[in-house]
A = this chain, B = another copy of it.
Amino acid sequence: MKARVTVMPKQGVLDPQGKAIAHALANLGYDAVHDVRAGKVIELDLTETDPDKAKAQAEDMARKLLANTVIESFRVEVSPA
């Protein structure tokens, strides 16, 4: 199975990367941008074939390594490889 882990800063947590991108976009003349949030996406190619088990594995990996759960939240989507 393929598991896609999307990690974003939690609401209310300062997002310097998002701010920097917003600033750069404004400098390029894009003035229709209200807000920008930047995060990570990690695509895992897992040998597990059961979707529920694959999702549980990816969530465990996210909690232990991929996301800093103090300041980040994550979402896991699984799909056939």
- Interfacial residues, chain A to chain B (CB-CB below 8 A): 6, 8, 18, 21, 24-25, 28, 30, 32-48, 57, 61, 64-66
- The answer to whether A21 and B65 touch across the interface, beta carbons within 8 angstroms, is yes
- Taking A36-B45, A42-B38, A43-B37 as contacts, is the C-beta distance between A28 and B64 under 8 angstroms? yes
- The answer to whether A61 and B25 touch across the interface, beta carbons within 8 angstroms, is yes
- The answer to whether B36 and A43 touch across the interface, beta carbons within 8 angstroms, is yes
| Beta-carbon nearest neighbor of A35 in chain B | B45
When chains A and B are docked, how far (Å) is the Cα of A33 from the Cα of B39?
22
13 A-B pairs within 8 Å (CB atoms) are namely: A8-B41, A8-B43, A18-B42, A25-B65, A28-B64, A28-B65, A34-B46, A37-B43, A37-B45, A38-B40, A38-B42, A38-B43, A40-B40
